[in-house]
Amino acid sequence: MPRKKTSIPVKMVKRVVRRGSIVLVRYPFTDLSSIKVRPALVVMPDHLMRKLDDVLCLFISSSMPAKTLSTDFVLEPNKPSFTKTGLKYRSVFRTHKLALLNKSLVLRVLGEMDRDLMNEIDQRLRVALGL
């Protein structure tokens, strides 16, 4: 029986993954006991991403830690650029939780960070990495 062709809505078309993309990804637990589909921020430079099969991501969660660290960035929904991120809730970007993942684990692009938000992330990455 031939497969029925279906059209893909325009908003479901796959967007390009690049530095600053917020993606839905299969993210591993730190003890590698399991994985969870969750949002993550791509922090790998674009020129490397074109050459590699992997992508460097950092952990995003809507569950706020009891105490934030100097490496955490909390993004509030009232921030003007929040809607462009594709996130639905107040979120914490944990720059000390990085994972190098195969690109096949990226399910889709949710949104993008703007330059100001990426500057906030870059500052915290410097702290997390001791740079």
- Give the amino acid at 83: T
Q: Which runs of E-coded beta strand occur in the chain?
A: 21-28, 35-42, 54-61, 72-75, 91-102, 106-112
Q: How many CB atoms are closer than 10 A to CB 29?
A: 9
Question: Given this model, what pLDDT does residue 30 score?
Answer: 80
Structural domain count of the chain: 1
- Looking at the domain assignment, is residue 3 inside a domain? no
Reported as a single tens digit per residue, the pLDDT across 68-90 is 999 999 999 999 899 999 999 99
- Compute φ and ψ for 99, nearest 5 degrees: -145, 135
Give the single-character DSSP code of 78: T
Nearest CA to 86 out of 111, 109, 57, 59 is that of: 111
Q: What is the CA radius of gyration of the chain?
A: 16
Cα 121 from chain centroid (whole Å): 11
Integer distance in angstroms from the first to the last C-alpha of the chain?
59
Can you say how many angstroms the Cα of residue 58 is from the centroid of all Cα atoms in its chain?
Answer: 6
Query: Token match 């993004």: residue?
Result: 75
Residue type, 63: S
**pTM > 0.85: yes or no:** no
9 found inside a domain? no
Each of the 131 residues of the chain gets a pLDDT tens digit; together they read 444 443 333 343 356 889 999 999 988 888 888 888 999 999 999 999 889 999 999 999 999 999 999 999 999 999 989 999 999 999 999 999 999 999 999 999 999 999 999 999 999 999 999 99
The boundaries of the domain holding residue 58 are: 19-129
Kindly state whether residue 61 falls inside one of the protein's structural domains: yes
- CATH code where residue 53 lies: 2.30.30.110
